[in-house]
Amino acid sequence: MSNAITLVQFKGEARVDSRLLAGQLDNQHKASMALIDRYAAKFKRFGALPFQMEKPTAGSAGGQPERYALLHEDQSYYLLSLSRNTEIVVDLKADLIAAFREARDRASVTDTQYLPLYHAMHDEVAALARRAKECGSSTPERMFHINANKALNAVMGIASGERDTLTIEQRLLLTTLQAVWRNHLHASLEHGDDHHEAFRKAKAAVLAYMTGVGALLLGGRAA
């Protein structure tokens, strides 16, 4: 058995839901939680051990909130070390290694490329807001930043709040789109265009890039 492991972000750190691990192990979640509670002091040797409560969904049996743990990489491996080394456990260890490695790679992309270009793009968006003000617009600057992010999300085919879940390939593409947006916005403002025209040109540029190179970077699929 080999399934992709979905990680969640907790205070900027990749974590795995104890319920997901229990399901992959074909265990009752309460059995996994019993181990975590029993050896909580040892789990905490590796770092903070956050617990969460989730309210039951409508119509679910029992109606009691479910308590679960969010484990980081070392803690998840420690939990597996408390289980017999069956084929299922061996496969799950491999899946966890792959999932956490991808999370580290994604964080590396964010730290070294995505964030610097994100800030550079929004510096240019601030210049766009100033141009708008010069043209008599009363739109607050923050709306220009919001609209720029929304436009890029739309081009990528993602919803607000989904950027943390992007694959490495998608994150690299978004990083490039930010550079395309920033460069065309800068050139348009330097040319003397008003804010409407500058925004239109930047959006058209990222759409053109996505239609061509962007689709190829995602394996020939449109976002």
pLDDT in tens, 44-93: 999 999 999 988 765 555 567 899 999 999 999 999 888 877 888 888 88
At 5, give phi and psi (nearest 5°): -95, 125
Same domain for 124 and 58, yes or no, is: no
Q: Within 10 Å of residue 178's Cβ, how many Cβ atoms?
A: 25
Q: pLDDT value at position 92?
A: 86
Q: Is residue 27 part of a domain?
A: yes
Q: pLDDT value at position 67?
A: 93
Q: Is the pLDDT of residue 115 over 80?
A: yes
Q: Are 206 and 155 in contact (CB under 8 A)?
A: yes
Same domain for 75 and 112, yes or no, is: no
- Residue 190: pLDDT band with limits 50, 70, 90: very high
Q: pLDDT value at position 215?
A: 61
Residue type at position 12: G
Strands laid side by side in the 13-17 sheet: 8-10, 13-17, 66-71, 51-54
- DSSP assignment of 136-164: T----HHHHHHHHHHHHHHHHT--TT-GG
Q: What percent of the chain has pLDDT over 90?
A: 48
Q: What is the pTM of this model?
A: 0.54
Domain containing 18 equals 8-83
- Indicate the number of domains in the chain: 2
Q: Is residue 127 part of a domain?
A: yes
Q: Is residue 94 part of a domain?
A: no
Q: What percent of the chain has pLDDT over 70?
A: 89
Q: Is residue 26 part of a domain?
A: yes
Burial class (CB in 10 A: 0-12, 13-18, 19+), 75: buried
Same domain for 79 and 44, yes or no, is: yes
Same domain for 121 and 79, yes or no, is: no
Same domain for 75 and 135, yes or no, is: no
- Residue 221: pLDDT band with limits 50, 70, 90: very low
- Give residue-wise pLDDT tens across range 2-55: 456 888 888 878 899 999 998 888 778 999 999 999 999 999 999 999 999 988
Q: Is residue 161 part of a domain?
A: yes
CA 107 vs. chain centroid, Å, equals 9
Q: Are 223 and 207 in contact (CB under 8 A)?
A: no
Residues 6+ apart with CB under 8 A from 28: 22
Q: Is residue 3 part of a domain?
A: no
Q: Is residue 68 part of a domain?
A: yes
